[in-house]
């Protein structure tokens, strides 16, 4: 009995020692078995979730969307083009006399009026020239008065026979020469006054000033290649653009009988429009492009149309009385062209191709594919396929659906809190 007990103890001790010696490989093996089982369960869970998600996208769930009704109403027939803004007038302000620039009466970028002072050139040399010319005029006027008196006296002497006719002719010629000198002196005075007037440079048009290209204190030359500043008229402005030549006759007939309205939008502007009228049609077609150049004039009261900027133009040709109109947000683009999702009576949607006649900022005119009264999806199209079930969003949109989905979660939290004693 003792021998068996001793043998059993030895075996148990051997197993314990063996387990301790190989403890690391055994632990890794057991951990790997449980980890593999967890990974398999996780993969199975993900696969089931993915299948569930695909099932919801393909029609298993209801998609919340926004709908709009197709309308039949008047809409304009328009031509669309890209144009460039051009100033009505641009003037390079230059000096007309040589001198030192001593004063500028504006800041860069200021709006100035016609006749407003812009620059002043040192007037002192021109004042001196004016006084000199006036002095010469006074001297020669006195000489002219003397010759005129001599001419009258010699005329009396010749009539009485006390002077020769030759002497009379000499005095008459001297008087005429003095008169010519007097006229030249008067012209010199006028020229000096004009030069003095040119020392003050005024704005020839209404407009906005650009960069000041020559600073005060510099010497300037008359008609120098570099202007002092550039003045641009921004009220009104022209917008130049081109349209295909097939519209030429229609445009000529329109501009003859009425004012043709033109709308302009700057890049990035969707709602702000600038209204103008067609003012010019070129007298020849560009043979290279097959287009005709047009110009429209815009009042531009806020000066938001800046020369050199590109704008999107819409030129109205006529009104379409019964156009089929949908919000532009409803239009989708696919491999086969434009389409919309149309809501059916059984709360599902169908995909329908459409032909677009014209596109505006907020709405699109449909030439074929829809009729008045139908409802189209304008938001939520990314979650739709043909046959998807839909529900129309309320005024709260997705917020309502989110609130509905949150209610079960709140109830579950309340139950857990009740069961846990409020902890």
Quote the pLDDT of residue 69. 94
Furthest-apart CA atoms within the chain: distance in Å: 196
Q: Which residues pair with 120 in a beta bridge?
A: 103, 200
Amino acid 75: pLDDT: 87
CB 353 within 8 A of CB 339: yes
With cut-offs at 50, 70 and 90, classify the pLDDT of residue 19. Answer: low
* Residue among 413, 407, 378 at smallest CA distance from 393: 378
Q: What is the pLDDT of residues 49-103, one digit of tens each?
A: 444 433 444 445 899 999 999 999 998 888 889 999 999 999 999 999 999 999 9
Torsion, Cα 293 296 300 306, to 10 degrees, reads: 0
408's CB contacts (< 8 A; 6+ apart) are none
Question: Is-contact 100 122, C-beta < 8 A?
Answer: yes
Q: Which two tokens stand for residue 405?
A: 């989905």
pLDDT at 157 over 90: no
Q: Which residue is it, tokens 């000198």? A: 181
- The residue-averaged pLDDT of 257-267 equals 89
Whether 374 and 70 have beta carbons less than 8 Å apart is answered as yes
Q: Which domains does the chain have, with CATH numbers?
A: 62-74+323-404 (2.40.420.20), 78-87+231-322 (2.40.30.170), 90-220 (2.40.50.100)
Retrieve residue 2's tokens. 């003792």
Dihedral over Cα of 226, 231, 236, 237: its sign: positive
pLDDT at 181 over 80: yes
Phi, psi (degrees; rounded to nearest 5) at 271: -115, -30
Cis (ω within 30 of 0) for the bond into 236?
yes
Q: Output Rg (C-alpha) for the chain, integer angstroms.
A: 47
Q: How many whole angstroms separate alpha carbon 297 and alpha carbon 261? A: 10
Collapse the DSSP code of 370 into the 3-class scheme (helix H, G, I; strand E, B; otherwise coil) and give the result.
Answer: coil
Helices (H), strands (E): how many in the chain?
Answer: 6, 20
Q: In whole angstroms, give the CA distance from residue 378 to residue 331.
A: 8
DSSP element (H, E) containing 175: helix 165-197
Encoded tokens for 212: 């000041």
Give CA–CA dist 70/73, Å, rounded. 10
- pLDDT (tens digit per residue) in 362-383: 889 999 999 999 999 999 999 8
**pLDDT at site 21:** 56
* Partners of residue 219 on adjacent β-strands: 100
Look at residue 308 in the predicted model and tell me its pLDDT.
92
E-state strands within 221-370:
229-244, 261-266, 274-286, 291-298, 310-327, 332-334, 337-343, 349-353, 355-359, 363-368
* 204-255 tens-digit pLDDT: 999 999 999 999 999 999 999 999 999 999 999 999 999 999 889 889 988 8
């Amino acid at each position: 009995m003792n021998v068996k007990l001793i043998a059993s103890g030895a075996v148990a001790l051997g197993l314990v020692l063996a387990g301790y010696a190989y403890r690391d490989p055994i632990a890794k093996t057991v951990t790997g078995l449980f980890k593999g089982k967890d990974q398999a369960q996780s993969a199975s869970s993900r696969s089931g979730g993915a299948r569930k998600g695909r099932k919801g996208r393909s029609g298993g769930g209801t998609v919340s969307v926004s709908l709009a009704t197709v309308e039949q109403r008047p809409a304009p027939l328009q031509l669309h083009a890209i144009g460039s803004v051009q100033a009505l007038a641009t003037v390079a302000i230059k000096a007309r006399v040589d001198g030192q620039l001593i004063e500028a009466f504006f800041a860069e970028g200021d709006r100035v009026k016609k006749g407003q002072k812009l620059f002043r050139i040192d007037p002192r040399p021109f004042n001196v020239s004016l006084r000199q010319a006036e002095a010469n005029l006074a001297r020669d006027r006195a000489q002219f008065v003397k010759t005129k008196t001599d001419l009258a006296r010699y005329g009396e002497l010749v009539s009485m026979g006390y002077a020769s006719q030759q002497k009379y002719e000499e005095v008459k010629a001297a008087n005429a020469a003095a008169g010519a000198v007097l006229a030249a002196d008067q012209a010199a005075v006028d020229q000096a006054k004009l030069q003095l007037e040119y020392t003050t440079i005024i704005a020839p048009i209404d407009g906005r000033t650009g960069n000041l290209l020559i600073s005060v204190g510099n010497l300037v030359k008359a008609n120098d290649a570099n202007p002092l500043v550039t003045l641009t008229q921004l009220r009104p402005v022209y917008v130049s653009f081109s349209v295909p030549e097939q519209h030429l006759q229609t445009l000529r007939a329109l501009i003859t009988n009425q004012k043709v309205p033109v709308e302009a939008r700057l890049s990035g502007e969707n709602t702000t429009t600038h209204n103008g009228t067609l003012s010019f049609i070129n007298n020849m077609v560009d043979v290279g492009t097959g287009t005709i150049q047009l110009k429209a004039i815009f009042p531009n009261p806020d000066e938001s149309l800046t020369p050199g900027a590109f704008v999107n133009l819409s030129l109205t040709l006529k009104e379409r009385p019964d156009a089929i109109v949908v919000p532009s947000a409803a239009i989708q683009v696919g491999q086969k062209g434009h389409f919309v999702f149309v809501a059916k009576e059984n709360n599902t949607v169908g995909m329908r191709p459409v032909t677009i006649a014209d596109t505006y900022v907020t709405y699109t005119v449909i030439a074929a594919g829809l009729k008045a009264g139908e409802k189209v999806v304008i938001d939520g199209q990314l979650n739709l396929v043909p046959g998807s079930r839909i529900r129309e969003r309320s005024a709260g949109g997705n917020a309502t659906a989110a609130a509905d989905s949150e209610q079960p979660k709140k109830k579950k939290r309340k139950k857990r809190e009740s069961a846990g004693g409020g902890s």
